[in-house]
Structure 1
Amino acid sequence: MTKEIINLTKQVSSEFDFDYRVMLAFIEVETGGKGFDPITGKIMIQFEPAWFRKKAPYAPSGKWNLNKVEVQSKEWPAFNDAFAKDPDAAMESTSIGLGQVMGFHYKRLGFATVGEMWDHAKESLENQIWQIAKFIDTDRNLKQAIINKDWFTIAKIYNGSGFMEIARKYGREPYNISMKKAYEKYSSN
């Protein structure tokens, strides 16, 4: 994690009265500390075809349903294809930035449109960290799980109830374990 991200996370976390180490754990687990793709400079995204299918059921198939999870060079063409079919549905169906907050949460974060949320996140790492904090701040159950260091509940709320199944599918460590390890790492520094 870069010193800039650590310092920005401490700053934003203090505004929300959060444990910055939890915020760093989210950032590490979600994007490995990258808010922007080091190759292209574009904001980090993960386009979710299943969500796009729900948001734009009329959209014909195309590149949007062929993306490869976590490979930015595949995510962007899939997103761009979906965007050409329905811009708002595409942005709502994509998680963005350091915390990979889904676009459909734009109202919850206080934005009038999903495009405003995206524009805000594209401006800076600080704004991306703010979006993570605002997402947490607007969920009483998530805030309580964080206070209790209940990593299973944190994972279930932040990453969805199917997080264990996703871990098995992709041969990954479950989200709750990764979050706990990342938190412990930042707690020992």
Structure 2
Amino acid sequence: MTTLRPDDRNQAVLILQKQLNAQGAGLYLDGHYGESTEQAVQAFQRRAGLVADGVAGPKTLAALAGQDTGHLLKQRDLEQAAERLGLPLASVLAVNRVESKGEGFLPNGKPAILFERHVMRERLLEHRYVLPGLASPEATVESLETRYPGLVNTRPGGYAGGVAEHQRLASARQIHDTAALESASWGLFQIMGYHWQRLGYARVQEFAHAMAESEARQLEAFVRFVEADPALHKALQGRRWAEFAKRYNGPAYGKNLYDVKLARAYAQFAGQPEAA
């Protein structure tokens, strides 16, 4: 689904303005996503309980169309996360905009995931899994690599995307349920399943169930992830965006300008000049 942003000019913006007017916005229908349209979007988002960021993404458009948004992230969820982490709301809004996938669920209602075949190999070795008739975990992963290279491999890749990632996960679960669930990244913030224990879940199955419940539960996993890493937490509290991005995204964070995007998003939500 299309995402409409400030300064867009197209037919989709005109349709958006008509939908907002049906909600009482009183906009001039010019197809330009100007300040008045942005304010009208934010006002609708607040009424709907959605994240009030002024961007008309799939969630806002779904709400305007009258679809159920009960499982989607709400403004109050972000406010509670900010309070729990000791952060200004603007910091959490910035992280949500830059570091989240935007949608924690697929159109079929399943949580957004990405199955990592190289992690599956590592987790099978970690669990010391041995297939019947084989002598060791090492022999097992070698056999599985030959038979199922899309599920067990030394190299990342093999992604199918979208709903098909759940088909990959289902096949991997037939090999080893726990290792498979640990080998996928889950939800809005792409938290890897193998973090389940340090995040305080009893089992990875409990973690996966929580990720399938709502985007609020996915945000809670992110909050736990930050709390479990004091250095990451302090970087976020101090708005040291480069350090936070490096710890969260890895050393290649600069290629995608994560730190720059975080700083700009924070400045916008905090109402500061962009130079901040």
1:66 partnered with 2:158: yes
* Aligned residue type for 1:12: A
Please give the alpha-carbon distance, in whole angstroms, between the structure 2 residues aligned to 1:122 and 1:30: 19
Structure showing greater radius of gyration is 2
Q: Secondary structure at the match of 1:95?
A: strand
Pick from 13, 24, 27: which aligns with 2:96?
A: 27
Please name the residue that 1:184 is paired with. Answer: 267
Pick from 111, 120, 126: which aligns with 1:43?
A: 111
With over 3 angstroms needed to count, the CA separation of the structure-2 counterparts of 1:144 and 1:13, relative to structure 1, is same
Please give the alpha-carbon distance, in whole angstroms, between the structure 2 residues aligned to 1:50 and 1:26: 27
Consecutive unaligned residues in structure 1, runs of 5 or more? 168-172
Please give the alpha-carbon distance, in whole angstroms, between the structure 1 residues aligned to 2:115 and 2:262: 22
Please give the alpha-carbon distance, in whole angstroms, between the structure 2 residues aligned to 1:78 and 1:174: 31
- Asked if the contact 2:81/2:92 (under 8 Å) is kept, the reply is no
- Asked if the contact 1:43/1:122 (under 8 Å) is kept, the reply is yes
1:95 partnered with 2:185: yes
Consecutive unaligned residues in structure 2, runs of 5 or more? 1-44, 52-72, 126-140, 152-156
Bigger relative contact order (CA 8 A; separation at least 6): 1
* Aligned residue type for 1:67: Y
With over 3 angstroms needed to count, the CA separation of the structure-2 counterparts of 1:79 and 1:23, relative to structure 1, is farther
TM-score by length of 2: 0.58
Please give the alpha-carbon distance, in whole angstroms, between the structure 1 residues aligned to 2:217 and 2:243: 25
- Asked if the contact 1:55/1:89 (under 8 Å) is kept, the reply is yes
Q: Kindly report the root-mean-square deviation, in angstroms, between the aligned alpha carbons of the 2 structures.
A: 2.4
1:179 CA displacement: 2.7
1:12 partnered with 2:104: no
Q: Percent identity, aligned pairs only?
A: 27
Please give the alpha-carbon distance, in whole angstroms, between the structure 2 residues aligned to 1:163 and 1:49: 22
1:62 CA displacement: 4.1
Please give the alpha-carbon distance, in whole angstroms, between the structure 2 residues aligned to 1:177 and 1:78: 35
- Asked if the contact 2:105/2:111 (under 8 Å) is kept, the reply is yes
Higher helix share: 1
Cα displacement string for residues 94-142 of structure 1 (whole angstroms, at most 9, x for unaligned residues): 1111221111111111112111111122222221111111111111100
